[in-house]
Structures are given as C-alpha cells and as structure tokens.
Structure 1
Amino acid sequence: MASLGQIIFYIMITLIVIFSAIIILIVSLTLSGNSQVESLNRLPVANLGEDYILSCFLPADSEQSTFEKVSITWRKKSLEGIVYRYEDGAENNAEQDSQYRGRVEIFSDLVLKGNASLLLRKVRLRDAGEYTCSLSHSGGGGDIKINLRTAAFTAPTFTFSSGVLTAVASRWFPQPNVTWLDAEDNVLQGSTDFIESSAGIFRVISTLGSVNVSDTYTCRIKNDLVASNSDATVTTGSVTPGEAYFTYSAASAQLTSYLRVITFLLCVTYLM
C-alpha cells in the first residue's frame, strides 16, 4: 500500500502534467493565430540597422488567386497608434505612431494577391515586440501575431600571425559568448575581449593560440537570440575563411517563462 508521501507525490506529478499540457495548448493557440492568415516566421530575429520583412499573407491554397476590397492593418502591442494601415486601395496612416512614420511600407503590387507583408526599414532596438497583422477582404480574412526580436550580429573576419588565429566581429548585441572548436568539434581554449560602443553594441575580438597550419577551426559567437558559426583554415602566413552561417533562437519569451514555472514545480515536488 502506498504511503501518504507517495500519494502526494503522484498527485503532484499528475497536476504538473495536466498544467504542462494546458500551457502548451495555450501557447500553441497563441502562436497559431487565425488559420486564414499565415506567416513565414512568427518569432523572427531582425538585425539592428538593417531592413526586415514581417511576413503576413493568405495561404497559397486559398480558393481565390486575387482578392477584392483588401484591408490591412499592422498593430503593435502596447502602442496607442497603429504601425501601418491600407484600405480602399491606398495607405491610411492618420493614426500612425510617429516612430514608424516613413519607416514602413507594404508591397502594393502584391496586396490583391493576399500578401500583407510589412517592410520595416533600419530596425531599431525598440522595434522589438508583438505585432498583429490583420488582413481582410470581400470574402473573409483573419489575423496573426508575430513576436519580433531585435539583435545585432555579424560574422567574424579572420587573421593569422605568429601562430595566433584572431576573429573580429564588429557588431553584436546582446553581449555574446565565444567558443573555439577544432575540426572534430573539441572545445579549445581561446581568449576574448569585448569593446562596447556608446550605443551598447559590442565589438568582439577573440584569439586562439598554438594553432596548426592546414587545420580548420570554428569560431562560434552566440547569445540568446542568434549564433554565428564560422570556419577558418590556417595556411602558411594567412588564413582561408570557410563556411559561415547564422542560426536563430525559436523559443519565445512566453514559453520560456512557462517552462521555468514547470521546472520550479518539479523541484518543489522532488523536495517533498
């Protein structure tokens, strides 16, 4: 016969499983939005200072190839004014918030095909947040939420001198971590300095000593939003850059908070 402590433990585990399922369902519904409108990326990461497109469109399998009486409104959570509005065949931005004035536009030649994607020029740090794209036409419509994250990131450039391989990346935010790897993905001991600008952007300078000529090394620069993986092959007196690519975090802040709550409950249950 199970003891009282075991019964309590099993009840707590059951409750946590139920709460976890409910949380996952809520997050899924939040991210899914209205099925009549889609986006290529609902958790994008935009590079500060560069242009970025927030995608919003009707699915390709819609019965119509063109639409009539299309209306588009982009809003941002906690913003009194709108980000952008299109109706009656033209933009209508009388209520537009000043921070987006002259910085946003849609692709007018694609509107009647059900494309409401928004071009955001010269991304700023405060552009981060939850956006809602509302798209309607004579036959229906819907809306979708997009959580934009902002960061600064660049791939490093490499130099090689006196047995030391140096990687320099000019723009990173938030401050990243740097890891050096050999061709077999073994972690190597490097040294990294960060130089912060007046705007809070970091210049990354990382060095790796005692490298071997003809060997390939990887410099991985990573923060919570984006990671840069860049290869470099050391040759006599120089270095040859290889493959470089970025990967982006897909975890939303909301989901991360929920997972922290679940972890806390598991710890409490374990201690009981």
Structure 2
Amino acid sequence: LHPQCTWTGLVLKGVTVETETMRDPTVTCVFRQNCILPCNVDPSSDTIIHWDHLTSGEHNVHSYYDTEDQLGRQDQQFKGRTSLFQDLISRGNGSLRLTGVKIQDEGRYSCYSSTERGSRKTFIQLKVEALIKVSIKLVENRIICSSEWIYPQPELSWSVNPPSELEINSPTMVHQTEEQLYSISSSLLVSDRLYDQTYSCTVSSSRNKKTASFCKSKLLVCYLKLLINVFTILSLLVFIGYFKTPNITHKPSESPNTSRPAVKAILS
C-alpha cells in the first residue's frame, strides 16, 4: 500500500464497498472557465456514478446509471453545467466536466461508483481562482492602482525604485461583489519634485500575483533609456553586418593611360 493511502472494505448485502482514505487531491479551476474533476471507475458496461458536492451538506451534482444521465436529483446550482464522458465510462473514466465555474463551486466533491464487482468512493478538492489584472495610471499628482474580479481575497502593496526617503503609506480599499469576487484599489500621492522614479503596485492573492509599474520622469527619461537600449542594439547589428559583407573590387573599364588624355582635353 502507498504510505499515504489506506483502504477499508465493508461487506454490505454481498457487495464490497471500498473507501480510499488519503489527503484529497486538489484541482484549481479558473472562474467562468471549464474544468474537469478526475475520477477513475472500474471498467464496466453497467457502471453507476454519483457526483456530490459536500460543502454545506451533500448536494447532488451529477448521476449516471442505466447507461444514461439521471439528473432528477441534481442541485439547482449545477443545472445545465455538468456532463460525463459517456463514451469513456466503460473504459474506467468517470470524470466530471463542469462548465462556467463559479465561486460557489469551490469545496469538496465525492465520486461514488458501483459495478457488479463492488463499489468505491473517492474525494477531490476544487479551488477557484480569478486571474489578476492590474491597472495603474497617473491622475493629477496621484498614481492610482486598481484590480477587479479577483478571488480569493487579495492584498495590495507599493514599492519605489530607486528607494525614496518618503514613507509609502496609502490606504487600500477592498470591495466584494455579489458573486463573491473582490475589487481592490489604492492611490499614492507623488511629489512634483521627485522624478526618474518607478512606482510599482503589486496585487496578490494566495494563488496568484501581478505587478504593474509607472515611471515618473520630468524629461521622459524612462522612455529615453529604452530608446538608448534599442539604438545600441541596432548599432551593434549594423556594425556586425558591415564586417560580414564581402569586399567587391570593381575593374576599371579603361586603363589609366587611356583615361588621362580625355581628362586633359576637357580641362583644356
């Protein structure tokens, strides 16, 4: 047996029920996208499968028996969003396909399967994340950083390069929507006397992190530095190309002796 996995067997009306006890595997799904929860079943032509969501009780997600979907008990939360790979069930694949993932879908799931050889139940944890996109802009003398539609709850932090003696102490506002997503924003007051500094805003959650930067320069030094780097690279390429070009020697159409009289005639 696997050191982190044990099996317990129960005999119930002549049927052996096996339950795998181990740390639940975790699947991370992206908000509003599709996701697959894996489940292996015994290959059979008469497999019974019950998927349940075990958070806040036990709610039926999807059932399959008599070689077809049985959705009479399906919880309203999952209506029209679940399916099995029916052509693969007889080969041992009982995985659940969940579309349009919601924050409420997060939690523990069980996959119960039964055949003439016995039954088994496995568990899986589903975690939901909403990808972070950071917006940063300058409004008058404030740099505003914001991000929307985030999950789980994020944090926001500022940094300055080169470091400034001024203390960065800006309040952060967090708002949660009806879909349990988070919006976060913060603004930083910048001095008119400080230039050539890069202000970076980092928004992070327990599963994701993004950083956006704004360069404050009196003479557009930030962009000038970029142009200098590009010019240096182009100059180097031209220099290399010049020395790689083969030397071509052109033969004169006339000998020096025959060309000199013509020149003298014109000058005279």
Tell me which interval the TM-score lies in, with the shorter structure as reference length. Answer: 0.5 to 0.7
1:82 equivalenced with 2:60 (yes/no): yes
Q: 1:47–1:152: 8 Å Cα contact kept in structure 2?
A: yes
Does the CA contact (< 8 Å) of 2:39 and 2:96 recur in 1?
no
TM-score by length of 1: 0.53
CA-to-aligned-CA distance 1:178-201 (integer Å, 9 cap, x gap): 123467999965442234445554
Secondary structure at 2:215 match in 1: strand
Aligned to 1:108: 86
**Structure 1's 183 and 148: CA in aligned 2 closer, same or farther, altered over 3 A?**
farther
The structure richer in helix per residue is 1
Q: Are positions 1:57 and 2:60 aligned together?
A: no
1:176-255 matches, cutoff 5 A: 176-181=154-159, 189-197=169-177, 201-210=181-190, 213=196, 215=198, 217=200, 219-222=202-205, 225-232=206-213, 234=215, 236=220
> Please, which of 115, 123, 126 is the counterpart of residue 104 of structure 2?
126
Identity %, equivalent residues: 18
Judge conservation of contact 1:55–1:116 (CA < 8 Å) in 2. no
Contact 1:75 1:83 in 2 (8 A): yes
Instruction: Give SS of 1:102's match.
Output: coil
> Could you tell me whether the CA contact under 8 Å between 1:76 and 1:130 is conserved in 2?
yes
1:42 corresponds in structure 2 to: 25
Give the RMSD, CA atoms, in angstroms. 4.6
Shift of 1:44: 3.8
- Cα offset for 1:74? 0.4
Letter of the 1:179 counterpart: S
Structure 1 alignment gaps of length 5 or more: 1-24, 240-272
Shift of 1:82: 2.0
Q: Hey, what's the Cα distance between the residues in 1 that align with 2:221 and 2:143?
A: 11
Which structure's CA Rg is the greater one?
A: 2
Taking a change above 3 Å as real, the CA distance of residues 219 and 80 of structure 1, as seen in their structure-2 partners, is closer
Change (3 A) 1:149 1:163: same
Task: Report if the CA contact (8 A) 1:84-1:105 is conserved.
Answer: yes
Residue 219 (structure 1) shift = 0.9
Residue type of the partner of 1:42?
Answer: P
Question: Matches of 1:139 and 1:185 in 2, distance apart?
Answer: 68
For residues 212 and 138 of structure 1, the distance between their equivalents in structure 2, rounded to whole angstroms, comes to 76
Could you tell me which amino acid in structure 1 is paired with residue 150 of structure 2?
A: W
**Number of residues of Structure 1 aligned to a counterpart in Structure 2:** 201
4+ long deviations beyond 6 Å? 138-141, 183-187
Q: 2:145 touches 2:201 (CA, 8 Å); kept in 1?
A: no
Query: 1:56 and 1:166 mapped to 2: Cα distance?
Result: 42
In structure 2, stretches of 5+ residues that fail to align are: 8-18, 224-268
2:49 paired residue among 36, 56, 72: 72
Conserved? CA contact 1:170–1:202, under 8 Å: yes
Give the drift of 1:91.
1.0
TM-score (norm: length of structure 2): 0.54
Please say which of residues 96-105 and 207-216 is displaced more in the overlay: 207-216
Cα separation, partners in 2 of 1:213 and 1:57, compared to 1, 3 Å? farther
